[in-house]
């Protein structure tokens, strides 16, 4: 049997295979509210044959959005918009749905990528004052963020918990806390962005404190039988920054608090990063975290080939693989991988006629 198409239990969630649709920002929301684009985008990926569909980075506060066009979950209107999207997907797919909850910190208030992605300063249309652990901007010349005080920390922590309660009401099967890619929780973890002199800065224990407080708040707000996971950057790829040894320590602390899985990518915190991009370039980071924890580990990053994905899972480098750009390019990647390995995937009845003659057993007709 293919390792990639073997089942796996993550917390209380049963996954039919090891393929996850990674959260992918679409920059297509209006005032935090999902639009028909999200139904189209997420809906067709829910027919892909993967085991889990993850909703893109969803801001817990308006100022936590990367751009003005990001999805949010902070009030009844944003909750209702997600509810409409999820209801439409579930009418045609039983794929479990997870959501990634996020706060962009100092990397918020930017233009959408296809218009350059530059910071939009406060006072300009679609711009606002960002927040961070320390009043240090992401790039030189940007408007500096405001350093979060105790009241600000409590507001962010409570917003993560409230968004989690809303996700639970929506019937979302899993929550992922975004602690990677240079966004707010990663900013607390890295000594490059966290220069505080209180109990939230300095030592590794102190820098982990706020991200762990947020995780605890999310875990407490979500039903106990549904998993809460974490996305981390395994390294900043900058000398003196966050690195894999600190990531391993963070993973151990998360596991002790009931984290159900950890999703390992890298970078995003500092423009000085030098990333050795290539096929499976982040898999060694996932492998290093897996060596230090019993949690399922998700690997991501230029995973494009079927045998490549099979090797990652089959050798134990990671327990699951996540697809992002690969599945945008080929939304039926899991179908094709299953055909390659002689495995089966779920497919909608409307698509059964697409079954290739040479792969008559490709579709699981028992569901």
What pLDDT shows up at residue 266?
98
Candidates 183, 200, 281, 329; catalytic one:
183
How many CB atoms lie under 10 A from the CB of residue 316?
A: 12
* Model confidence pLDDT, tens digit, residues 48-63: 999 999 999 999 999 9
Vertex 254, ends 248 and 255: CA angle to 5°?
A: 90
3-state secondary structure of 250: helix
Question: Would you say the pTM of this structure is higher than 0.95?
Answer: yes
What pLDDT shows up at residue 365?
78
- Of all residues in the chain, the percent with pLDDT exceeding 90 is 98
What pLDDT shows up at residue 42?
98
265: pLDDT strictly greater than 60: yes
**Per-residue confidence band for 163, with pLDDT thresholds at 50, 70 and 90:** very high
What pLDDT shows up at residue 35?
98
Mean pLDDT of 60-88: 98
112: pLDDT strictly greater than 70: yes
- The rounded distance, in Å, linking the Cα atoms of 42 and 61 is 22
366: pLDDT strictly greater than 80: no
367: pLDDT strictly greater than 60: no
* Model confidence pLDDT, tens digit, residues 192-242: 999 999 999 999 999 999 999 999 999 999 999 999 999 999 999 999 999
Q: Tokens 């996954």 map to which residue?
A: 15
Mean pLDDT of 94-107: 98
- Of all residues in the chain, the percent with pLDDT exceeding 70 is 99
Mean pLDDT of 251-255: 98
What pLDDT shows up at residue 160?
99
Is 138 noted as a catalytic residue in this protein? no
- The rounded distance, in Å, linking the Cα atoms of 108 and 275 is 22
* Nearest CA among 157, 131, 149 for reference residue 212: 157
What average pLDDT does the chain have?
Answer: 97
Strands (DSSP E) contained in the chain are 8-10, 13-15, 19-21, 52-59, 97-102, 131-132, 146-147, 174-179, 228-233, 262-265, 297-300, 320-323
What pLDDT shows up at residue 364?
86
Mean pLDDT of 172-192: 98
Strands (DSSP E) contained in 90-135 are 97-102, 131-132
Pairing of strands 174-179, 97-102: parallel
149: pLDDT strictly greater than 60: yes
């Amino acid at each position: 049997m293919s390792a990639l198409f073997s089942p796996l239990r993550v917390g209380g969630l049963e996954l039919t295979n090891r393929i996850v649709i990674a959260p992918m920002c679409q920059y297509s929301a209006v005032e935090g509210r999902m639009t028909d684009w999200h139904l189209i985008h997420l809906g067709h990926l829910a027919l892909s044959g993967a085991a889990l569909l993850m909703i893109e980075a969803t801001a817990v506060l308006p100022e936590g959005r990367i751009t003005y066009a990001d999805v949010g979950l902070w009030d009844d209107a944003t909750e209702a918009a997600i509810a409409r999207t999820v209801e439409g997907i579930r009418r045609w797919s039983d794929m479990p749905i997870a959501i990634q909850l996020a706060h962009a910190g100092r990397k918020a208030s930017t233009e959408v990528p296809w218009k350059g992605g530059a910071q939009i300063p406060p006072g300009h249309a679609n711009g606002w004052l960002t927040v961070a652990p320390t009043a240090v901007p992401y790039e030189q010349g940007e408007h500096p963020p405001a350093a979060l005080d105790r009241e600000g920390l409590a507001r962010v922590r409570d917003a993560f918990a409230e968004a989690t309660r809303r996700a639970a009401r929506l019937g979302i099967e899993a929550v992922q806390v975004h602690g990677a890619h240079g966004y707010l929780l990663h900013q607390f973890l890295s000594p490059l962005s966290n220069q505080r002199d209180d109990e939230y800065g300095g030592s590794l224990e102190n820098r982990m404190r706020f991200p762990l407080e947020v995780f605890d708040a999310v875990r407490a707000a979500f039903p106990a039988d549904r998993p809460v996971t974490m996305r981390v950057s395994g390294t900043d790829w900058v000398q003196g920054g966050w690195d894999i040894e600190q990531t391993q320590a963070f993973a151990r602390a998360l596991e002790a608090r009931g984290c159900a899985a950890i999703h390992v990518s890298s970078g995003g915190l500092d423009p000085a990063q030098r990333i050795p991009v290539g096929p499976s370039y982040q898999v060694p980071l996932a492998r290093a975290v897996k060596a230090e924890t019993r949690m399922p580990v998700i690997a991501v990053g230029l995973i494009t080939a079927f045998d490549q994905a099979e090797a990652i899972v089959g050798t134990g480098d990671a327990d699951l693989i996540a697809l992002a750009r690969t599945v945008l390019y080929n939304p039926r990647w899991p179908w094709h991988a299953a055909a390659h390995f002689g495995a089966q995937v779920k497919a909608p009845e409307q698509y059964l006629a697409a079954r290739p003659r040479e792969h008559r057993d490709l579709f699981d007709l028992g569901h």
